[in-house]
Structure 1
Amino acid sequence: MKKQNIISGIKQYRSQVDTNFHMPGHKGKNEFLGQLIEDISSYDLTETIGTDNLHYPAGFLKDAMDYISKVYGSKKSYMVVNGTSCGIISSIMACTKPGDKILVQRDCHKSVYNASILGDLELVYLYPEFNKKYGLNFSISLEKLDQQLSYKPEIKMVVLTYPTFYGICFDIKKAAEIVHKHGKILMIDEAHGSHLKFSEDLPLPAESSGADIVTQSIHKTLPCLSQGSLLHVCSERVKVDNIEAMLRMLQTSSPSYVLMASIENAVHWMESSGKERLKRNIEIFKERTLELRKIGINVLEENFLIGEGLYSFDATRAVISMSEIGITGTKLQDILRYKYRIQMEFADLQYTVGYITATDEPEDIHRLFDAVKEIYLKESKNKEKGEIIQIEPFPSLQHERKMRSAFYAENIFVKIDESIGRTAAGFIIPYPPGIPLVCPGEIIDQDTADYVKVMLENGINVNGVNENNLVRVVKWKEDL
């Protein structure tokens, strides 16, 4: 029998990691997956007599979505089995027509940019406020949001990320007031915030704070199988028929009943059992965070961030930096993985980030914080400290052509250094978290090329740079 590559690879990973702070939110613990785990093949069905149809629900799938809608307080909720990327693209295309302009937060997920290519849309950027001292994109400026909508009344909708990948939140009620004052639709990518609904100790959930559409990756922070997502329509400003038409077009015609059952189970478990566990874990997280901050470790914490001008912070996000003692985010992630058998969600040049969910046990959280403390106390005594590498703000690159036309243009692959001054034909995306550094149609400059090389040198996976360190650019006549 030939080797089962996927099964073998997963088993090898599991043998190397004892505790994980990455998605999915069930953290590999069967007890949170309900009856599914008992006999998974019996729940793997198709559309037939008595099993309903996700695209035209009239039976138990409709009942499940009605239940989810009631829990989240939406006008209507949809289970999305192609992941939140599908929900985001469906929502944007349902509210726009080819050629329309939409205002987007520059540090949004790549699926927003993909929607602009598929829908032939023009993006207007709202850049986050960058804090150079801490190497973080803080929050969007609501004043600049208002200004953009005043200067460009032709904008059709606004797409914002809440919380960000680092747990940072803005005043969502105020943002909704501004967007609606200008008569626009507000869509919130709440991929990392499906748990906010279940705690009063966290920032307000978008679906009850004025957003018109909310998309959520419940597999990230709830005990759901990967790809399980929700799309909530929260106001009369959104045409439900358009949303449903796009979901039918973009979702698979063979939705997984196992995944749909997992989505409903995750919401039910959170409502019935998860709230108290989440509250307990938030209290432990906050206590241990303050402990580490007192000894000098840069762990993001709400009061500290508010003091720096931030609005609020999701206290389930462990965002840790030891850059001041010369340890990059990727190096810290590696130490946690290979010395302590703890795997985080992702790392950048400065921070390593992990998710704490209701399924974590107190000993899991203590294990992480004990390891971080031990690493810091040891490494801070090391006289030979590594070079401090600063995270850079998003580049404001010149647009040479529309994103869609550049994406479909004739193209070639060139070395990173040879791409300087040329028009990107593809995305360049540090992944995770999946925020494009360069988009099709933008001219790659020297600083951006240098920054990409620094990320690669520090072990960061950069999508759009192939195994030979080549990137895709628009072909010139002289390339022929």
Structure 2
Amino acid sequence: MKKLNIISGIKQYRSEVDTNFHMPGHKGKNGILDEIGNNLNFYDITETLGTDNLHYPTGFLKDAMEYIAESYGSKKSYMVVNGTSCGIISAIMACTNPGDKILVQRDCHKSVYNACILGDLKLFYLYPEFNKKHGLNFSISLEKLEQMLIDNPDIKMVVLTYPTFYGICFDVKKAAEIVHKYGKILMIDEAHGSHLHFCKDLLPPSAESSGADIVTQSTHKTLPCMTQGSIMHILSDRVDLNNVETMLRMLQTTSPSYILMASIENAVHWMNENGEERLKRNIEVFKRRTLELRNMGINVLEDDFLIGEGCFDFDATRAVISMSELGITGTELQEILRYEYKIQMEFADLMYTVGYITATDEPEDIDRLFDAVKEIYLDRSQSNEKREIVQIEAFPQLQHERKMRKAFYSENMLVDMDDSIGKTAAEFIIPYPPGIPLVCPGEIIVPETIEYVKVMLENGINVNGVDKNNQLRVVK
């Protein structure tokens, strides 16, 4: 039997890719994690005399979290070693009781829904505004946010995503004002925005500086941190710290990795020292190259353009590229970049391929991506074989047949996709990445969703919840 399959697999991948625009934010570059990375065994310790305990910190872990809180300007910050999913679930369950109602942005991460299953919560949805012209969910409507809170005064908290996976931002300051006007707690899933704080001049405002009560961040996504490293910030007295710490103790491992915790602190320190200068440099290169390609007719999203189209703001470290007008899907473009240019992006959908530009990237990395995109466009635009690609709206407003928790624990059965229409979903149906559920347990499956899933599968996009025989689970 072949040994060291994981190490061999990673080595094989590294040999096939020269430049990557996917997480983790350190991009595998030397010089950032060397102190930790070159001495893994030395730093791999545990809770014992002379170290510290993440769940009851009194020593250097406490000092590290105080340093992170001071850096971000929070009331208290927690290192989260089970990923932001753990932080999100802990935060939601810390602020609610079983049976409570919460309002969530419908295109949020699956961990928000998992919190509702575990906490036995009732969901209300705030749907994003879908822009058919660009095939993208734009900002949420703050008018609809306020109306939802007026119509449902017993909602306990609001959970919103900022920025989205595509870098789209709403007016988070205004959203906080509205939520607090009605006496609710605002939690922001800022998984893709831990870098915003470090470049205030050129990026949208960070959620932690805009009035949110709780912010969860995937430090490993956009900062030079090892995978799974995350932070939770508490920013107001509306949140009970004891409840938060109780939930973190319950949901996090009792054997947290000191290597991972050192990586989180190191990432924040590195950004404090280098983040602003390097982000500004990379954003300037990105914007210059974006405008160059847009002038050629290539659809690369850019903040001024999006704002002119009705979007509130855009994270200018997100490379969102489409060649759908040439009949090239996002997944096809991702594969061309990967196998012909050895450039790996983060994820792709039907229209767009998406990559992350972080402070650890060099200008030549960005140029390499844009040179490749330019070459692909010039080559493929000569072809007469073009097909129309239209992004389908992913979130029809689905009816809840029963509470999510009840559906999740109900007896279920496998059925063919076409036979699932009109039945109640027993598990999530999720294109992955990015991990946003199309259907949640308890929702009735509609024809539009099945059509969308079929298009995703036909174009090589993984859809969790659909098995190899194109069957999915429904409540029996």
For the aligned pair, the TM-score class normalised by the smaller chain equals over 0.9
Question: Counterpart in 2 of 1:457?
Answer: 458
Q: Is the 8 A contact 1:100 1:122 kept in 2?
A: yes
Where do 1:312-461 residues align within 5 Å? 312-461=313-462
Q: Is the 8 A contact 2:400 2:444 kept in 1?
A: yes
Q: Is the 8 A contact 1:350 1:391 kept in 2?
A: no
Distance 1:386 1:461 in 2: 22
Q: Is the 8 A contact 2:185 2:238 kept in 1?
A: yes
Q: Deviations over 1:352-410 (max 9, x none)?
A: 00000000011100000000011111111110113423232412112111111000000
How far did 1:421 drift?
Answer: 1.3
Between the two proteins, what is the percent identity of the paired residues? Answer: 79
Distance 1:470 1:50 in 2: 54
Question: Counterpart in 1 of 2:108?
Answer: 108
Q: Deviations over 1:57-89 (max 9, x none)?
A: 000000000000000000000000000000000
Is 1:148–2:148 an aligned residue pair? Answer: yes
Instruction: Classify the secondary structure of the residue corresponding to 2:62.
Output: helix
Q: Is the 8 A contact 1:321 1:351 kept in 2?
A: yes
Distance 2:51 2:416 in 1: 53
Q: Is the 8 A contact 2:172 2:210 kept in 1?
A: yes
Amino acid at match of 1:98: P
Instruction: Classify the secondary structure of the residue corresponding to 2:128.
Output: coil
Distance 1:388 1:217 in 2: 32
Amino acid at match of 2:415: V
Amino acid at match of 2:384: K
Q: Which runs of 4+ in 1 moved over 6 A?
A: none
Question: Counterpart in 1 of 2:203?
Answer: 202
Instruction: Classify the secondary structure of the residue corresponding to 1:287.
Output: helix
Distance 2:419 2:310 in 1: 40
Amino acid at match of 1:137: N
Q: More displaced, 31-40 or 355-364?
A: 31-40
Amino acid at match of 2:14: R
Q: Deviations over 1:439-477 (max 9, x none)?
A: 1011111121111011001000111111222111111xx
TM-score normalised over the length of structure 1:
0.98
The size of the alignment, in residue pairs, is 475
Q: More displaced, 91-100 or 412-421?
A: 412-421
Amino acid at match of 1:130: F
Distance 2:230 2:423 in 1: 37
Question: Counterpart in 2 of 1:478?
Answer: none
Instruction: Classify the secondary structure of the residue corresponding to 1:339.
Output: helix
Where do 1:57-68 residues align within 5 Å? 57-68=57-68
Q: Is the 8 A contact 1:349 1:455 kept in 2?
A: yes
Q: Is the 8 A contact 1:328 1:389 kept in 2?
A: no
Distance 2:183 2:355 in 1: 37
Where do 1:4-153 residues align within 5 Å? 4-153=4-153
Amino acid at match of 2:451: D
Distance 1:5 1:467 in 2: 24
TM-score normalised over the length of structure 2:
0.99
Instruction: Classify the secondary structure of the residue corresponding to 1:31.
Output: coil
Question: Counterpart in 2 of 1:220?
Answer: 221
Q: Is the 8 A contact 1:427 1:436 kept in 2?
A: yes
How far did 1:34 drift?
Answer: 4.2
Q: Is the 8 A contact 2:394 2:452 kept in 1?
A: no
Amino acid at match of 2:377: Y
Q: Deviations over 1:393-434 (max 9, x none)?
A: 412112111111000000011111121111100000001110
Instruction: Classify the secondary structure of the residue corresponding to 1:32.
Output: coil
Unaligned runs of 5+ in 1: 476-480
Distance 1:303 1:393 in 2: 26
Amino acid at match of 1:469: N
Amino acid at match of 1:292: L
Instruction: Classify the secondary structure of the residue corresponding to 2:455.
Output: helix
Q: Is the 8 A contact 2:394 2:438 kept in 1?
A: no
Q: Deviations over 1:281-322 (max 9, x none)?
A: 010011111111111111110110110111111000000011
Distance 2:449 2:135 in 1: 16
Unaligned runs of 5+ in 2: none
Amino acid at match of 1:414: V
Amino acid at match of 2:12: Q
Distance 1:298 1:32 in 2: 33
How far did 1:2 drift?
Answer: 3.6
Distance 1:252 1:86 in 2: 10
Question: Counterpart in 2 of 1:167?
Answer: 167
Question: Counterpart in 2 of 1:158?
Answer: 158
Amino acid at match of 2:425: A
Q: Deviations over 1:218-268 (max 9, x none)?
A: 100000000000000000110000000000000000000000000000000
Q: Is the 8 A contact 2:325 2:388 kept in 1?
A: no
Distance 1:466 1:90 in 2: 30
Where do 1:229-378 residues align within 5 Å? 229-378=230-379
Q: Is the 8 A contact 1:30 1:37 kept in 2?
A: no
Distance 2:450 2:371 in 1: 38
Amino acid at match of 1:204: P
Distance 1:215 1:398 in 2: 29
Distance 1:2 1:323 in 2: 42
Q: More displaced, 382-391 or 421-430?
A: 382-391
Distance 1:201 1:244 in 2: 34
Distance 1:167 1:388 in 2: 22
Distance 1:171 1:390 in 2: 25
